Amino acid sequence: MTEFTATSLLLATFGLLLVLGVSLSRAVERLGFPIALLFLVLGMLAGSEGVGGVAFDDYRFAFQVGTMALVLILFDGGLNTSLRSVREAAAPAALLATAGVLITAAIVALGARLAGLDWKSALLLGAVVSSTDAATVFAVFRAGGFGLRRKISTTLELESGLNDPAAVILTVTLTQIAIGPSTLGWSLALIIPLQLAIGAALGVATGYASRWLLTRIRVSAGGLFPVITVGLALLTFGITTAANGSGFLAVYAMAVVLGNGPIPYKPGLRRIHDALAWVCQVSMFLMLGLLVFPSMLPAVALPGILLGLLLALVARPVAVVLCLLPFRFKRAETAFVAWAGLRGAVPIILACYPVLAGHPHGAELFNLVFFIVVVNAIVPGATLRWVSRRLGLFEHARPTPSAVLEINATSILAGRLLAFRISPQVAVCGAKISEIEFPPEAAVLLVVRDKRILAARGATVLNEGDRVHLFCRDEDVPFVTLLFGQPEDENS
């Protein structure tokens, strides 16, 4: 078999798994499982010990590709995070992303020590699984189809975007301690806040610099703007990491600054980066599933499952309760945040690092992390909707629009294109368009009703459930929202 033929077969297998996974995703969603777990299982089935027989054990390649994928996933998350959300949830999310990570790591480490690991390996395992996963959290709460009170979903999403740096710093530091003569010192207490501070500062700075660049650069085609933003995300990560800062936090902060400012081609950038994030997420889980060798799993199955339950039922709840005590969270809200500590690709990516560094128990730690991730994906992941209903926090999500209207321009245009879902509470529900007193230069462009697109005529009546696309000047947005309610895209 030639190299070209082998590559073709590998690509064909990978493509088949992508199509199969997406085709089954709706059924998996109904069960409440994170879609990412489906692709992880498919990767295992396609692996060297599965029905596919695809041999793959390149941890270095997986770590490098996984890191780049996480950068793009965090960039997409930041691009869709409003400053209003950041202001509302910054304090609790930041505490969960720092102190919460340390508390979680410590409790899991204690459990791992009781399970028979030496202290250095136990602490390293706790660090690897200490952070929630941005890819999984974004997938569940932004594309999972169920609503949640804004305060809770914002806290969980912001926490998942902020807590990877602390877990990365802990993992790298403890790996170096585990394989070398160094000991754990107080310097670690300074490293984490220092790297987070550098990451946040450089992220905000590169965000404003990137916004300045995007508003002044001239390109021959709108499709080149996503090329620029991908390059800026990777550049930000690389520069910040080289400066001993948190590259992941820098990318997230940079994207928040970009997404909340005037940049050209913004709707197209959001749509393309959303697609890129999904491709990165599912491809990463497929690849990581290929790394798992089922024959090695039985030896660590029992401690792995027990540690996974310890993380979900003890470590995460204790960390959340302690971190949210200073804030005005109701008991039900605290309980749900504690339950929704989803793990995913990040712990598995971090578990590759000890293997690459030559840790003597690296393979064992990797297999333990696999069980911990799967248990946390199933136990909290499959019950999130049920728990949110039991706690009285469930809210029906807005239905996915059957049509989306976008204006993608290679330069910044004056004015806003907004979309509104007409609810019975808004002032214009049941009114004819001709009866509505619009601000000057504001107008309804079209109305989407069920699966029909209606021309915006004066006699058109706005019914409950209609999706109205409206153009107005920036200064008229507050008045328009009084008439139509909150726009569906608050970052537009």
What one-character-per-residue DSSP string does 279-347 give?
Answer: HHHHHHHHHHHHH--GGGSGGGHHHHHHHHHHIIIIIHHHHHHHHHTTS---HHHHHHHHHT----HHH
Instruction: Report the mean per-residue pLDDT for the chain.
Output: 85
CA gap 174, 399 in Å, rounded: 45
- Among the residue ranges 164-168, 269-273, 332-336, 478-482, the one predicted with the least confidence is 164-168
CA gap 218, 394 in Å, rounded: 46
- Nearest CA among 200, 156, 124 for reference residue 343: 156
Residue 485: DSSP 8-state:
-
Percentage of the residues of the chain whose pLDDT score is greater than 90? 27
119-124 average pLDDT score: 92
- Nearest CA among 184, 179, 136 for reference residue 157: 136
What are 157-184's pLDDT values in tens digits? 888 878 888 888 888 888 888 877 655 5
- Among the residue ranges 303-312, 377-386, 427-436, the one predicted with the least confidence is 377-386
Instruction: Compute CA 410 distance to the chain's CA centroid, rounded to the nearest angstrom.
Output: 28
pLDDT band at 190 (very low <50, low <70, confident <90, very high): confident
What are 416-468's pLDDT values in tens digits? 888 898 888 888 898 999 988 888 888 898 899 888 888 888 889 999 888 99
Query: What pLDDT was estimated at residue 229?
Result: 94
Query: What pLDDT was estimated at residue 401?
Result: 60
Domains of the chain: 3-395 (1.20.1530.20), 416-484 (3.30.70.1450)
337-349 average pLDDT score: 85
pLDDT band at 237 (very low <50, low <70, confident <90, very high): very high
Residue 346 tokens read as 């990040």
Percentage of the residues of the chain whose pLDDT score is greater than 70? 91
CA gap 157, 320 in Å, rounded: 14
Query: What pLDDT was estimated at residue 209?
Result: 95
Q: Residue 283: pLDDT above 70?
A: yes
Query: What pLDDT was estimated at residue 163?
Result: 85
Please provide the DSSP assignment of 95-134 as one string. Answer: HHHHHHHHHHHHHHHHHHHHTT--HHHHHHHHHHT-S--H
Query: What pLDDT was estimated at residue 334?
Result: 93
Residue 341 tokens read as 């500590």
Residue 458 tokens read as 């004066």
- Nearest CA among 289, 234, 305, 318 for reference residue 37: 289
Strands 394-395 and 452-455, how do they pair? unpaired
pLDDT band at 376 (very low <50, low <70, confident <90, very high): confident
Query: What pLDDT was estimated at residue 490?
Result: 47
Strand 416-421's sheet: what is its strand order?
416-421, 467-472, 443-449, 452-455
CA gap 169, 192 in Å, rounded: 7
Q: What are phi and psi of 432, to 5 degrees?
A: -75, 150
CA gap 475, 477 in Å, rounded: 6
Q: Residue 213: pLDDT above 90?
A: yes
CA gap 43, 173 in Å, rounded: 30
Q: Give the three-state DSSP class for 432.
A: strand
401-426 average pLDDT score: 78
- Nearest CA among 476, 466, 410 for reference residue 443: 476
Query: What pLDDT was estimated at residue 492?
Result: 44
What are 16-72's pLDDT values in tens digits? 888 888 888 777 767 666 677 788 888 888 887 777 777 778 888 888 888 898 899
Q: What is the radius of gyration, based on Cα positions, of the chain?
A: 24
- Nearest CA among 337, 299, 328 for reference residue 116: 299
Please provide the DSSP assignment of 357-371 as one string. Answer: HT-TTHHHHHHHHHH
The more confidently predicted of residues 135 and 182 is: 135
Q: Residue 286: pLDDT above 70?
A: yes
Query: What pLDDT was estimated at residue 319?
Result: 95
Q: Residue 491: pLDDT above 50?
A: no
What are 253-282's pLDDT values in tens digits? 999 999 998 888 888 888 899 889 888 888
386-397 average pLDDT score: 77
Q: Which helix (H) or strand (E) is 446 found in, with range? A: strand 443-449
Distances (CA, A) of 315 to 8, 104, 161: 45, 5, 20
